[in-house]
């Protein structure tokens, strides 16, 4: 479970109804298959030892005793396999027959979990478990000291891994056992089930698994009965699913193999829980806690790690996300403008960030029914401004119907450089930042003249890396892009291009998307941009990936590097990923002082750096621990 990953499987072995010996062999074979695949936790269906369609045969003592004996033999046959797995069987205890699921590992039966919600048909045979507390089978040899109850947590001797089981239709209760178990600390909920296939049930089952994993902030695994169950009235499809925190990780098709594998990220789930109403309970009067051991190992990853965690991969989801974010940004700005009763001033460069800020401002003014001429856009050509970006800025403003002004800064900056004793030729940081601060001064002064506020254009990625001139483009009166990472800025501008009704506007937006990201502070060469941001600080694709996992989940450099290799290995080599990961941490810590005094801005997601709740971090925190770990990473 290195880096928090552990391989999980759900399987539906073929069976023969009431043929316990055959089913026993199939279960052992399935456990062996899963162990060979590196699986460490396996969920098998409800009543897998006997079949779920035995009917009145469940009352036969021969079947009941045969299942119990087979369970003991399964445990003994798998004692050398490093895998925790479930086995469903009918179990007679204190004169009542229960539909139970046994938890097995290291050749031991650790507990039996009975069903608490038994439907009308199955009540003919099974008694619902109606006791909150767990009990011990100390009177039932050879299963002495094995726990029985619905509130049992199986805790691994590994950080944060806690497993619980709810049986079959218990998952559909208004308050299912899994709700309490999650509150008691269960990270992984196993749901052995045996529901027949009818039209629409696969969709309902999928929705259940996804919603339970989201609501309980856990991984939720369901294994359904499959081939071999009686077809007297129904068929069983072996539909198995694995979900984590509202995302479906893996799913088998009904009536197919009935075997599905993925990895869950226990660290991610634990991190999510620190943000939710759920938490870990160290003590409980009702939970029976039993521990088990698993070997610490590096789990090979097969689950898909999205390259752009801020941008959905599905086209429909991307469109929905873009519309939602644009609405949030525009409504936030509209509220501020309405409250003040002001105009807006923006610096327009022809780049991605200022383009998105302008598009959002136009949308906000439309919401308020305000004239777009009250949006004053100022382009301020300097030493590195190219005709391409200047032209795009002007054309975009024209298509949006806003007020457009051009105020060159060359003369003012050269005078300022001369005033402070700079030669005006050396292209150092002073040369660059003098231009950025001159532009901010112009915008602030124009805003004063016009009764306006300056709308900031800088994005989240720049703020995380500190890629902003302090009191230059770092400052505004309201930042609309401060919670939008660069990869998402690009996606949102593309959304506006795709939905634009004006052909000129769409064309300009697409050319802006094709323009290299640059502050344009160094002189152009042959009219082309020479200062490309990503050549200096690294690819924003990687930095956005890093910042998502570092800020959203608090993952370690080692784990983020591993995830990046898995996601980006076909694009960047290991040395490149590691180089920019170190750059990310170094700049993130060094530049916190710029984030400690950010202006108001709109939060749109779960990752932000606003000092008013997005990120609370001292400006002089040391990066040494993180860089030391990063230096130990081997490419």
pLDDT single digits (tens) 205-216: 999 999 999 999
Tokens of 43: 């969920």
pLDDT at 282 (0 to 100) = 46
Candidates 279, 261, 259; CA nearest to 271 is 279
Confidence category of residue 20, pLDDT binned at 50, 70, 90: very high
Tokens of 251: 């799913």
* Structural domains of the chain in order of their starting residue, each with its CATH number: 2-292 (3.60.110.10), 315-632 (3.40.50.620)
The percent of residues in the chain predicted with pLDDT above 90, rounded, is 76
Distance CA 370, CA 367 (A): 8
- Chain mean position to CA 213: 13
Candidates 91, 96, 104; CA nearest to 30 is 104
**What mean pLDDT do residues 519-531 have?**
58
Comparison of pLDDT for 313 and 281, the residue scoring more: 313
Residue 66: burial class (beta carbons within 10 Å; 0-12, 13-18, 19+): buried
Reduced to 3 states, what is the DSSP secondary structure of residue 441? helix
Distance CA 350, CA 116 (A): 63
> Residue 230: pLDDT above 90?
no
**What mean pLDDT do residues 580-600 have?**
96
**What mean pLDDT do residues 534-560 have?**
94
pLDDT at 389 (0 to 100) = 73
Reduced to 3 states, what is the DSSP secondary structure of residue 216? coil
Q: Which residues contact 377 (CB under 8 A, 6 or more apart)?
A: 345, 346, 347, 348, 358, 393, 397, 402, 403, 404, 405
Residues in the chain: 635
> Residue 530: pLDDT above 70?
no
**What mean pLDDT do residues 558-568 have?**
96
Confidence category of residue 155, pLDDT binned at 50, 70, 90: confident
Determine if the peptide bond prior to 105 is cis (ω within 30°): no
Complete edge-to-edge strand list for the sheet that includes strand 135-136:
135-136, 147-148, 108-114, 96-105, 84-93, 41-43, 5-11, 259-265
Comparison of pLDDT for 2 and 436, the residue scoring more: 436
The shares of helix, strand and coil residues in the chain, as percent rounded to the nearest 5, are 40, 15, 40
The percent of residues in the chain predicted with pLDDT above 70, rounded, is 93
> Residue 532: pLDDT above 70?
no
pLDDT at 184 (0 to 100) = 86
**What mean pLDDT do residues 426-430 have?**
93
> Residue 583: pLDDT above 50?
yes
pLDDT at 283 (0 to 100) = 46
pLDDT digits (tens, 9 = 90+) for 270-311: 999 887 765 555 444 456 788 888 877 888 899 999 999 999
**Contact 482/460 with Cβ under 8 angstroms?**
yes
pLDDT digits (tens, 9 = 90+) for 451-487: 999 999 999 999 999 999 999 999 999 999 999 999 9
> DSSP assignment, residue 606?
S
pLDDT at 132 (0 to 100) = 64
**What mean pLDDT do residues 84-96 have?**
95
Complete edge-to-edge strand list for the sheet that includes strand 152-156:
247-251, 241-244, 219-223, 188-192, 162-165, 152-156, 288-292
Confidence category of residue 174, pLDDT binned at 50, 70, 90: confident
**What mean pLDDT do residues 600-620 have?**
92
> Residue 268: pLDDT above 90?
yes
């Amino acid at each position: 479970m290195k880096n928090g990953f552990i391989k999980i499987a759900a399987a539906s072995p073929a069976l023969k109804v009431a043929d316990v010996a055959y089913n026993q062999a199939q279960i052992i074979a399935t456990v062996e298959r899963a162990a060979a695949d590196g699986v460490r936790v396996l969920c098998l269906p409800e009543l897998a030892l006997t079949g779920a369609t035995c009917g009145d045969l469940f009352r036969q003592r021969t079947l009941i005793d045969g299942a119990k004996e087979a369970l003991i033999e399964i445990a003994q046959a798998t004692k050398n396999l490093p895998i925790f797995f479930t086995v469903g069987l009918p179990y007679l205890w204190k004169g009542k027959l229960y539909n139970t699921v046994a938890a097995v590992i290291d050749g031991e039966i650790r507990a039996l979990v009975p069903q608490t919600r038994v439907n009308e048909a199955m009540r003919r045979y099974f008694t619902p478990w109606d006791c909150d507390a767990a009990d011990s089978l100390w009177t039932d040899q050879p299963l002495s000291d094995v726990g029985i109850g619905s509130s049992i947590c199986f805790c691994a001797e590994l950080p944060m891994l806690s497993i619980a089981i709810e049986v079959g239709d218990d998952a559909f209760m208004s308050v299912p056992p899994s709700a309490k178990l999650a509150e008691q600390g269960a990270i992984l909920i196993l749901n052995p089930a045996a529901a027949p296939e009818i039209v629409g049930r696969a969709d309902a089952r999928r929705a259940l698994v996804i919603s339970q994993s989201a609501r309980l902030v856990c991984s939720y695994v369901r294994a359904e009965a499959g081939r071999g169950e009686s077809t007297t009235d129904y068929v069983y499809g072996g539909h198995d699913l694995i979900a984590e925190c509202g995302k479906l990780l893996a799913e088998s098709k009904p009536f197919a193999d009935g075997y599905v594998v993925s990895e869950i990220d226990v660290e991610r789930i634990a991190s999510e829980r620190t943000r939710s109403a759920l938490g870990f309970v160290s003590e409980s009067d009702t939970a029976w806690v039993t521990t088990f051991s698993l070997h610490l190992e590096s789990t090979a990853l097969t689950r898909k790690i999205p390259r752009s965690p801020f941008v959905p991969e599905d086209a429909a989801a991307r469109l929905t996300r873009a519309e939602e974010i644009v609405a949030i940004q525009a409504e936030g700005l509209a509220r501020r403008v309405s409250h003040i009763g002001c105009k807006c001033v923006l610096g327009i460069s022809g780049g991605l960030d200022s383009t998105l800020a302008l598009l959002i401002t136009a949308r906000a003014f439309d919401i308020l029914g305000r004239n777009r001429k009250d949006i004053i856009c100022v382009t301020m050509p300097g030493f590195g401004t190219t005709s391409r970006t200047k032209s795009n800025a002007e054309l975009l403003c024209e298509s949006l119907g806003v007020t457009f002004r051009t105020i060159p800064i060359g003369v003012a900056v050269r005078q300022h450089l001369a005033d402070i004793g700079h030669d005006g030729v050396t292209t150092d940081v002073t040369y660059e930042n003098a231009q950025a601060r001159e532009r901010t001064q112009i915008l602030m002064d124009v805003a004063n003249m016009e009764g306006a506020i300056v709308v900031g254009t800088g994005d989240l990625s720049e703020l995380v890396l500190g890629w902003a001139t302090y009191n230059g483009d770092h400052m505004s009166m309201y930042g609309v892009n401060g919670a939008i990472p660069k990869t998402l800025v690009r996606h949102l501008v593309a959304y506006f291009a795709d939905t634009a009704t004006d052909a000129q506007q769409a064309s300009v937006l697409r050319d802006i998307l094709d323009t290299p990201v640059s502050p344009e502070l160094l002189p152009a060469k042959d009219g082309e941009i020479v200062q490309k941001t990503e050549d200096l600080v690294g690819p924003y694709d990687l930095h956005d990936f890093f910042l998502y996992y570092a800020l959203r989940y608090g993952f370690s450099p080692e784990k983020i590097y591993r995830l990046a290799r898995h996601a980006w290995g076909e694009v960047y080599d290991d040395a490149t990923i590691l180089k920019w990961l170190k750059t990310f941490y170094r700049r993130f810590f060094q530049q916190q002082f710029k984030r400690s005094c950010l202006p108001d801005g709109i939060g749109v997601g779960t990752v932000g750096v606003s000092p008013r709740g997005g990120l609370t971090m001292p400006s002089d925190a040391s990066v040494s621990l993180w860089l030391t770990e990063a230096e130990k990473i081997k490419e």
